[in-house]
């Protein structure tokens, strides 16, 4: 089902025959799903919603990140085994979490783009890509800083590290593909295919420490068991992770709002130029 990129779906009309049938039987399930997606993916609605939620993303991000970093760096105790090196975790763990979460967002946007042709999903993917690449780079750098005193090397070809490096290259490939074609629709389609294909790396990252014998320590926090770290370290880590997550969402939301406004402005200028001719 193809829809014009920036048509206002809320004001669209249907033929009287279709309206009568729909009034009696209601739209089919696939139609209801598509209608729901179109309703909440409408750029005009998104701009209004994004403007309202931006402060509720930005201020919690600043507050929680500041509290978490200060708490973790200056007030939480050193680890009995890792010493003060454990403080790198307050940046590394949130970055690792968001690297995978951001790419999952890319995959969802790719699915929406390929199946329902949502232009807003293409714009969202284009804005998530650079932010995800930066946070994945931060994950790799902070992991190297952590690995040097723990493993005696800045880098090892460990399963977890290698799969995250692959994720970083997937992000860079996505960013490049979006901008590689003169036709934005072709670039968005190629990037969406890459995002969906690359999603296979996410379970590899998650389960690499269980599937292979690796230097990377097992997950300290799981859904099926109690955390293996002290609560005095766990709480500031959770605050940092929440703050980073709000920050990631705030940056992507701000970039996406700017991208939608830029696209609309460009279309208005092109329409004005065409009318003048």
Residues 6+ apart with CB under 8 A from 72: 87, 89, 90, 233, 236, 237, 240
Q: Which CATH number fits domain 51-213+231-276: 1.10.8, 3.30.1490, 1.20.120, 1.10.3470?
A: 1.20.120
Per-residue pLDDT of the chain (277 residues; tens, 9 = 90+): 333 444 443 333 334 444 433 444 455 555 565 666 666 667 788 889 999 999 999 999 999 999 999 999 999 998 877 888 889 999 999 999 999 999 999 999 999 999 988 889 999 999 999 999 999 999 999 999 998 888 888 988 888 999 999 999 999 999 999 999 988 899 999 999 999 999 999 999 988 887 777 777 777 666 666 676 788 889 999 999 999 999 999 999 999 999 999 988 887 877 777 666 6
Going from N- to C-terminal start, the domains of the chain cover 51-213+231-276
Of residues 196, 171, 170, the one with CA closest to residue 109: 196
pLDDT tens digits, 247-264: 999 999 999 999 999 988
Query: How much is the pTM?
Result: 0.83
């Amino acid at each position: 089902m193809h829809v014009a990129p920036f048509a206002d779906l809320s004001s669209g009309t249907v033929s009287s025959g279709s309206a009568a049938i729909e009034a009696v039987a209601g739209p089919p399930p696939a139609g209801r799903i598509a209608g729901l997606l179109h309703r909440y993916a409408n750029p005009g609605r998104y701009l209004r919603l994004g403007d309202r939620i931006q402060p509720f993303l930005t201020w919690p991000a600043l507050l929680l990140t500041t509290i978490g970093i200060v708490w973790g760096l200056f007030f939480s105790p050193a680890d009995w085994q890792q010493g003060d090196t454990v403080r790198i975790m307050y940046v590394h763990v949130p970055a690792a979490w968001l690297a995978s979460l951001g790419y999952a967002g890319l995959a969802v946007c790719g699915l929406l783009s390929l199946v329902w042709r949502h232009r807003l999903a293409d714009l969202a993917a284009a804005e998530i890509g650079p932010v995800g690449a930066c946070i994945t780079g931060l994950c790799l750098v902070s992991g190297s800083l952590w690995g040097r005193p723990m493993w005696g090397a800045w880098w090892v070809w460990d399963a977890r590290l290698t799969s995250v490096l692959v994720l970083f290259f997937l992000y860079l490939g996505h960013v490049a593909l979006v901008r590689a074609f003169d036709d934005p629709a072709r670039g968005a389609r190629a990037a969406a295919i890459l995002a969906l294909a690359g999603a296979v790396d996410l379970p590899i990252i998650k389960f690499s420490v269980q599937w292979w014998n690796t230097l990377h320590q097992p997950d300290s926090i799981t859904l099926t068991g109690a955390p293996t770290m002290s609560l005095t370290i766990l709480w500031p880590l959770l605050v940092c992770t929440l703050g980073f997550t709000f920050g990631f969402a705030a940056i992507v939301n701000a970039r996406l709002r700017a991208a939608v406004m830029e696209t609309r402005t460009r279309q208005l200028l092109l329409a004005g130029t065409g009318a003048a001719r």
